[in-house]
């Protein structure tokens, strides 16, 4: 058996206005969280471009523990702050390699 509830139009409109405000707040919160989540993580291609290194050099940085990463299935992801932290190290290695006539 179903119950029917009757409310005044003014009360219904106020309820809908509150609901719409709440829905808007939830939507804004979700967008901010999604933007933050996506901006904090970089994939291997982006890291190679930022650091101007080859995928093999990136693998070496992972293997020797210089650059932390997370792996989802077969794809690697890196935190942007970790990548920024190693920029000086990569530049130093690039300089040393250039002195030896090599590239990284």
Please tell me the distance from the alpha carbon of residue 12 to that of residue 71, in angstroms, as a whole number: 49
Calculate what percentage of the chain has a pLDDT beyond 90: 65
Instruction: List Cβ neighbours of 27 (8 Å cut-off, separation of 6 or more).
Output: none
pLDDT at 39: 63
> Smallest Cα–Cα separation from 38: which of 85, 87, 86, 80?
80
Domains located in the chain, CATH noted: 10-99 (1.10.1660)
pLDDT at 67: 97
Structure token pair of residue 81: 């702050």
Please tell me the distance from the alpha carbon of residue 34 to that of residue 41, in angstroms, as a whole number: 11
> Smallest Cα–Cα separation from 42: which of 7, 96, 84, 90?
84
The predicted-structure confidence for 25-75, as pLDDT tens digits, reads as follows 888 887 776 665 546 899 999 999 999 999 999 999 999 999 999 999 999
């Amino acid at each position: 058996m179903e119950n029917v509830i009757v409310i005044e139009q003014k009360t219904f409109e106020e309820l809908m206005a509150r609901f719409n405000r709440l829905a808007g707040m939830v939507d804004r919160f979700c967008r901010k969280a999604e933007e933050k989540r996506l901006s904090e993580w970089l994939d291997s291609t982006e890291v190679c471009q930022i650091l101007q290194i080859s995928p093999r050099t990136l693998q070496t940085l992972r293997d020797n523990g210089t650059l932390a990463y997370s792996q989802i299935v077969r794809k690697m992801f890196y935190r942007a702050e970790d990548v920024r932290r190693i920029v000086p190290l990569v530049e130093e290695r690039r300089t040393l390699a250039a002195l030896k006539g090599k590239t990284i």
